[in-house]
Amino acid sequence: MQTIITESVTVAATWINRGEVVAFPTETVYGLGADITNETAIENIFAAKGRPLDNPLIIHIHSPGQIQDVASEIPETANTFIRQFFPGPLTLILNRKETISPLVTAGLPTVGIRCPNHPVAREFLKRCNHPVAAPSANISGRPSATDWKAVHDDLKEKIRCVLKGPQSALGLESTIVDCSETPPRLLRSGAISLETLRKFVPETRPPVDTEKHVRPKSPGLKYPHYSPSALVKLCGPGYSVCEGEAGSAWIGLSSPPGKIAKTCLCKDMEEYAFRLFSFFRECDREHIKTIFCEMPPAEGIGIAIRDRLKKAAEE
Ligand code: AMP
Ligand code: MG
């Protein structure tokens, strides 16, 4: 299949409305979308990514008003988060409407919903006839795609269209909060931290340690993720000491100790999040063997960066 690259939201939405799979930019990472009412199109997302069918997709909407079309009830805690963070990098888990295909939700009684805060994404979603189900636009297990070239590298000839936009400003996937439970529970860290969520809903609970659960509440959490081909080694207090070697790279907030072939020095944690996945992909293109990653402080977006780094370091 020929993959069309376009900057036109109208062209991209027309492909969605015809039942095709389209990648589109958002402020977190690029999404790989299909019409939620078209089961063949949804199946094609899983096929293109090589994504396990038990890993549900997030439904993307252009405005909070569309939540009623996909959720059966909106608890007060969810309304508080919606008022505060929609549009934005937050996915809410709510009980789903009966009409939502079990392919989208992987058979769960709940659905993940997000309203991106990205002008191109919202204009594109407005032109789609229905909400759009979309996981990250990468081959399963690889680092998420934060620019259109990364999408194209992974998925060219497997999807119909890539809507070209700027590099994703945040660079990490959305924070996921489960509001189908009372009190709500954080399932995945992102740019919005637990501390920030608690300013608005103080009883929000931290994530459950997924190791102890056979079937985690967010099924995606049990799969390997974010992995470049290079070996990822974590550095910093409590982790390994970085021993520079030929063909190795470094990403962090401080300068690398020892000899390193390639360095990504970030001025703050926002820049670290923004550059992390694109740096992983750059290292792969340059056949780097080991990427040393400095663990950032466990605060704010640093918690989400640490989470992604730990998953990327798993063999
Ligand atoms: P991705 O956008 O590729 O990060 O994938 C979507 C993430 O949302 C995965 O980790 C899913 O497990 C999670 N997710 C989507 N829908 C639900 C749901 N109904 N309940 C819990 N987690 C969900
Ligand atoms: Mg993903």
- Reduced to 3 states (helix: H, G, I; strand: E, B; else coil), residue 35 is strand
Q: Which residues contact 108 (CB under 8 A, 6 or more apart)?
A: 56, 96, 219
pLDDT for residue 208:
87
Q: What is the pLDDT of residue 240?
A: 74
CA–CA separation, 302 and 269 (whole Å): 6
- Cα 21 to middle of ligand 2, angstroms: 16
**According to the model, what pLDDT value does residue 129 have?**
98
Mutating to test ligand 1, I would choose from 29, 54, 70, 91 the residue with most ligand atoms within 8 A of its C-beta, which is: 91
Q: Which bound ligand lies closest to the C-alpha atom of 215?
A: 1
Per-residue pLDDT tens over the stretch 118-174: 999 999 999 999 999 999 999 999 999 999 999 999 999 999 999 999 999 999 999
**Cβ–Cβ < 8 Å for 93, 179:** yes
What pairs with residue 232 in β-bridges?
A: 291
Q: Between 184 and 261, whose confidence is greater?
A: 184
- Kindly report the pTM of this predicted structure: 0.95
Atom nearest to 138 CA in ligand 1: 3
Ligand 1: which of 58, 72, 225 to mutate, most ligand atoms within 8 Å of CB? 58
Residues with CB under 6 Å of ligand 1 are 55-56, 58, 93, 105, 108, 110-112, 135-136, 173, 176, 187, 217-221
Give dist(CA 83, CA 94) in Å, integer.
15
Cβ proximity of 71 and 97 under 8 Å: yes
pLDDT in tens, 208-259: 875 554 556 677 666 777 889 999 999 988 887 777 777 899 999 999 877 8
Q: Looking at the predicted structure, is the pLDDT value of residue 21 above 70?
A: yes
Ligand 1 atom at minimum distance from 108 CA: 19
Measured by CA distance, the residue closest to atom 12 of ligand 1 is 220
Q: Which domains are seen in the chain, by residue range?
A: 4-200 (3.90.870.10), 231-312 (3.40.50.11030)
CA of 213 to the centre of ligand 2 (A): 20
% of residues, the chain, pLDDT over 90: 87
Compute the distance from residue 58 Cα to the ligand 1 centre, in Å: 6
271 band by pLDDT with thresholds 50, 70 and 90: very high
Instruction: State the Cα–Cα distance between residues 45 and 48, nearest whole angstrom.
Output: 5
